[in-house]
Amino acid sequence: MSKMPGSVGTTRTEYVTFSEPLPLDSGAVLSPVTIAYETYGRLNREKSNAILICHALSGDAHAAGYHEGETRPGWWDGVIGPGKAFDTDRYFVICSNVIGGCKGSTGPSSINPATGRPYALEFPVITVRDMVRAQKRLIDHLGINCLAAVAGGSMGGMQALQWSVTYPEAVRKVIAIATTARSTAQQIAFNEVGRQAIMADPAWAGGAYPADRPPVQGLRLARMIGHITYLSDGAMREKFGRNLQGRSSVGYGFSTEFQVESYLHHQGETFTRRFDANSYLYITRALDYFDLAVDDSLAAGFAGAKASFLVVSVSSDWLYPPYQSEEIVNALAANGIPVHYCEIRSNYGHDGFLLEYGQLNYIIGTFLDHLLVRDVMETGIPTIVERASIHDASRIMIENGVNHLPVLSEKGDLAGIVTSWDIAKAVACDYGSLDEIMSRSVVTAAPDEPVAEVARRMEERSISALPVVDADRRVIGLISSDAISTLIGRCT
């Protein structure tokens, strides 16, 4: 299929296998570990533009574009592509199938090297943290030290949150949608009913069913139950009301009569053609175990996180209700961690995170464009020491083609700044020492400040560049109005 506007075009799932054993939360190890993944866009030279997308319960690595011969795009195609929120003209977008899944990554239907047969229930129980550990292997394999963002909805949002606490140095932004920081009793309850439906199917056979005779009845029922929780009362009423399916009056029996019944049968049926029953057990168990709280405190759980966060809920989501997003926001705010919160207004229910593309594109796009100084600043900039001469300063400025030169004290922290305008003044007024011309009260920027705020400060003070300093006033870069306007020009 040729590339369409806004589409990443034809895509293909890649596979990588790691032979080094993957330690799991349960104490078991998994080896070898295969990860199925797709990428869209190009990784830049600095490897700083990578975004990891994490999928929900039944998703896979195919998040965007079209597989050869297929007409349905990837599951988050509405937000991934040129000009979309996850803009593949700017970002290198990665999506991988979770371990425990059945879409190419190692899971219970993979061959157990110890027996030569599918693992089935010999597959170790996994957690969301284990899924993230496996993703870290992939990210390392791709040579990426720090992700520009990790994003996902539902279980994908849990993985994104998990990244922020397990690998705080390896992720700059987290986008968590329609999710929670710890599974609730109600969520565990629905998962358990689904699992019981599968395990009660005689075809499940203790998990050792042959690939061509899976427990379809149990899996169908599990999905029907699950799918109800992905919708809302309003969405069901709007979609089906009390409409009958293919008949004009009720039949006083137990065959399928209502449209909503027919719809759920359809959803259950199609699910059995694309999903493995044992993977359903393992992944829902991972959801149950998910709890980022430490000593029952979510604030303590997020204490080490370093990313900035976007938390999004769906107004009609009763499976992962907005109050659970608000808990995440409060826990982050308690740690002084930058966080934005948005509630998508939608009647769709939980699956709104797969459908509300207009709102998602706007909210995510705005957040990703909400650049921080560290995203824009120039690093490795020239500096000069306090005792140097005006001649030294002008030579360094000419050699490096810069108009701003931070002046460092003997201790190495910021003592002042000298500009090409100061040099011109020095020549005109015949000043001899750097001390006479440099400004000592320097307006600075911090790496975690939003660029927009710094741009406002520069405008108010009529300054065209600010040194970026760390907590010890060590100069770590420079942000200039030129760099900001180049960026804005590129983004419009």
Residue with tokens 């791709």: 142
Q: Give the DSSP letter of residue 49.
A: -
Asked if 58 is part of the footprint of ligand ACO (rule: CB under 6 A), the reply reads yes
Q: DSSP secondary structure string, 267-313?
A: HHHHHHHH--HHHHHHHHHHHHH-B--BTTBHHHHTTT--SEEEEEE
Asked if 86 is part of the footprint of ligand ACO (rule: CB under 6 A), the reply reads no
- Residue 463 C-beta: closest distance to ligand ACO, Å: 46
Asked if 88 is part of the footprint of ligand ACO (rule: CB under 6 A), the reply reads no
Q: Which is nearer to ligand HSE, 48 or 267 (CB)?
A: 267
Asked if 56 is part of the footprint of ligand HSE (rule: CB under 6 A), the reply reads yes
Q: Is 77 annotated as a binding residue?
A: no
Give the C-alpha separation, 78 to 75, whole Å. 8
Residues 296-335, mask of contacts with ligand HSE (x by CB under 6 A): ----------------------------------------
Q: Is 223 annotated as a binding residue?
A: yes
Helix, strand, or coil here: 353? Answer: helix
Asked if 426 is part of the footprint of ligand HSE (rule: CB under 6 A), the reply reads no
Helix, strand, or coil here: 247? Answer: coil
Asked if 349 is part of the footprint of ligand HSE (rule: CB under 6 A), the reply reads no
Asked if 351 is part of the footprint of ligand ACO (rule: CB under 6 A), the reply reads yes
To the query of whether residue 265 is one of the catalytic residues in this protein, the response is no
Catalytic residue among 130, 317, 375, 422: 317
Footprint of ligand HSE on residues 433-492 (CB under 6 A)? none
Give the C-alpha separation, 220 to 81, whole Å. 33
Q: Which is nearer to ligand HSE, 53 or 57 (CB)?
A: 57
Peptide bond into 32 cis (omega under 30): yes
* 33 in Cβ contact with 17 (< 8 Å): yes
One-letter amino acid of 72: R
Asked if 419 is part of the footprint of ligand HSE (rule: CB under 6 A), the reply reads no
One-letter amino acid of 270: T
Q: Give the DSSP letter of residue 243.
A: -
Asked if 230 is part of the footprint of ligand HSE (rule: CB under 6 A), the reply reads yes
Taking CA atoms, 262 is separated from 131, 268, 347, in Å, by: 35, 10, 21
Give the C-alpha separation, 22 to 33, whole Å. 7
Interface residue with ligand HSE, options 52, 57, 222, 417 (CB under 6 A)? 57
To the query of whether residue 350 is one of the catalytic residues in this protein, the response is yes
Q: Which is nearer to ligand ACO, 179 or 480 (CB)?
A: 179
Q: Which is nearer to ligand ACO, 183 or 394 (CB)?
A: 183
One-letter amino acid of 227: H
- Residue 58 C-beta: closest distance to ligand HSE, Å: 3
Asked if 58 is part of the footprint of ligand HSE (rule: CB under 6 A), the reply reads yes
Q: Which is nearer to ligand ACO, 196 or 262 (CB)?
A: 262
Catalytic residue among 154, 164, 279, 316: 154
The span of 29-37, 57-65, 99-107, 413-421 binding ligand HSE (CB under 6 A) equals 57-65
Which option in ligand ACO, ligand HSE, none does residue 125 bind, with CB closer than 5 to 8 A by kind?
none
- Residue 54 C-beta: closest distance to ligand ACO, Å: 8
Burial state string for 259-293 with b = 16 or more CB within 10 A and e = fewer than 16: bbebbbeebbeebbeebbbbbbbbbbbbbbbbbbe
Interface residue with ligand ACO, options 56, 181, 222, 287 (CB under 6 A)? 56
To the query of whether residue 154 is one of the catalytic residues in this protein, the response is yes
Give the C-alpha separation, 474 to 250, whole Å. 77
Burial state string for 439-472 with b = 16 or more CB within 10 A and e = fewer than 16: eeebebbbbebebeebbeebeeeebebbbbbeee
Binding site for ligand HSE (CB under 6 A): 56-59, 154, 230, 351
Catalytic (active-site) positions: 154, 317, 350
Binding site for ligand ACO (CB under 6 A): 55-56, 58-59, 75, 156, 245, 259, 262-263, 266, 270, 351, 354-355
